[in-house]
Structure 1
Amino acid sequence: MTISTDLWEANADLAAAALAHPFVAGIGDGTLPRERFAGYVAQDAFFLESFARAYALGVAHSPDRATLDAFADLLVGVREELRLHAGYAARWGIDLAGVEPLPATTAYTDFLLATASLGGVGATCAAMTPCMRLYAHLGRSLSAERAGDYAEWVTTYADPGFEELAAGLERLLDRHGSDVPAVRTAYRRAMQLEVGFFDAAWRGV
């Protein structure tokens, strides 16, 4: 079993908690109040900018050309996600320029950037993989036909192209990560922060 598969299975409890979360369930059946989704879009756009910076640090710290190219490709994928958010922002009048990050958002971005700055490529991959793998899992688990206004969100993360990005990051984790406490802790912490992010989006604080 690869380290990426092992870590995903070891954190299945948090993946299940995310899928069952009322915020995610509300996206899945189209009943999530629009103002909660609007707040999430603003916070997630802020988060994704830091996610992109973490990928850029991965590029800077890459030990070889193949790793550099892989991180660069992943960075392009973040731009696609940001376009999704910009689309919702334009349609719904969401201000992405003046976002004040919630504590849950800051906790996640600080963790990612600190890990990408200091933790090495293996730890960086462990900290970033849960976001990609979890969203691919949510996209495949939800139905765009039931999601109403949120169908584009579901189809974005259910898309095979996004799955390939998640798998590409997992391949980096398998190549550069090892089964050590620091890697396991980084992966688990990222999964916890994902659930915390949905909590904050649901409560608006």
Structure 2
Amino acid sequence: MPEGLSKTLWEENMDIAMSCLNHPFVRGIASGNLPKDRFNWYVGQDYFYLQAFAKAFCLAVVKAPDVEGMKAFHELAGGALGEMSLHIGFEEKLGANVKAVIPSRATRMYTDFLLATAWERDAGLIAAATTPCNRLYAWLGQNLMKGANKDNPYIDWILTYSSKSFEELAQKTEMLIDRYAKDDDITRSIYRYAMICEYEFFDAAWKHD
């Protein structure tokens, strides 16, 4: 789990993290009772989102002030691209469509924010914008894994986000916050906005008809 500024930011946004954990969409993944059409819609939206997520890391590589940062952001871009293979698997197993997605308002809200931050801000603020996704999903996966059933149709989602490798991605983005971000209102605002986007993403998937 995080240390330093990244720990402070995570703790300050625990209210949103808990709202995500208790959201009916996430609880539906945990129980396996989430309607498949809602999950499949979410998979398509998330696949679209991950492309922007990976691009944000690629832009951060250019802005990183040292070689260590360049390497870390490059690895995170690879992690985001690798995560997309999970969604291709859901396309094959559950019939999700990831190739012809029309992004929802909530998806655009998130991707536009990520790309604007990546283009306009420095490495520390890009880390602040991207960390909530990795940390929240690692935390959700670890919580859902505690009561996971191997027969759950969404077990691959739970296994991926509860894994050691995904925890390492979360820790890497947090390390970049601690290394480059300033402890100021802009950093806090960007981190919290990303957390709000995460909640809105789940909520849009739950309300999708």
Instruction: State whether TM-score is above 0.5.
Output: yes
Structure 1 contact 19–25 (Cα < 8 Å) conserved: yes
Give the 3-state SS of the residue equivalent to 2:90 in structure 1.
helix
**Amino acid corresponding to residue 125 of structure 1 in structure 2:** A
Output the CA distance in 1 between the equivalents of 2:80 and 2:137: 13
- The match for 1:194 is 198
| Correspondence for 2:88 among 86, 89, 112 | 86
| Correspondence for 2:26 among 8, 24, 27 | 24
Output the CA distance in 2 between the equivalents of 1:9 and 1:146: 31
Of stretches 74-83 and 31-40 in structure 1, the one that deviates more from structure 2 is: 74-83
Structure 2 contact 41–97 (Cα < 8 Å) conserved: no
**Amino acid corresponding to residue 182 of structure 2 in structure 1:** S
Output the CA distance in 1 between the equivalents of 2:202 and 2:175: 27
Segments of structure 2 that go 5 or more residues without pairing to the other structure are none
Q: Within the alignment, does 1:34 sit opposite 2:33 as a pair?
A: no
Give the 3-state SS of the residue equivalent to 2:153 in structure 1.
helix
Task: Output one character per residue of 1:18-70: Cα deviation in whole Å (capped at 9) or x when no partner.
Answer: 00000000000101000000000000000000000001011111111110000
Task: Output one character per residue of 1:43-98: Cα deviation in whole Å (capped at 9) or x when no partner.
Answer: 00000000000010111111111100000111111122101000001222322111
Output the CA distance in 1 between the equivalents of 2:121 and 2:47: 24
Give the drift of 1:146: 6.6
Q: Within the alignment, does 1:159 sit opposite 2:160 as a pair?
A: no
Q: Within the alignment, does 1:115 sit opposite 2:101 as a pair?
A: no
Of stretches 141-150 and 28-37 in structure 1, the one that deviates more from structure 2 is: 141-150
> TM-score, length-normalised on structure 1?
0.97
Output the CA distance in 2 between the equivalents of 1:65 and 1:138: 31
Structure 1 contact 29–146 (Cα < 8 Å) conserved: no
Give the 3-state SS of the residue equivalent to 2:20 in structure 1.
helix
Output the CA distance in 2 between the equivalents of 1:104 and 1:203: 11
Give the drift of 1:132: 0.4
> TM-score, length-normalised on structure 2?
0.95
Output the CA distance in 1 between the equivalents of 2:164 and 2:138: 9
Structure 1 contact 104–193 (Cα < 8 Å) conserved: yes
- The match for 1:58 is 60
Segments of structure 1 that go 5 or more residues without pairing to the other structure are none
Output the CA distance in 1 between the equivalents of 2:79 and 2:46: 15
Q: Structure 1 vs Structure 2: percent identity of aligned residues?
A: 46
The count of corresponding residues between Structure 1 and Structure 2 is 205
Output the CA distance in 1 between the equivalents of 2:199 and 2:83: 19
Aligned CA RMSD, in angstroms, stands at 1.2
List aligned pairs for 1:64-75, cutoff 5 A: 64-75=66-77
Superposed structure 1 runs of 4+ greater than 6 Å apart: none
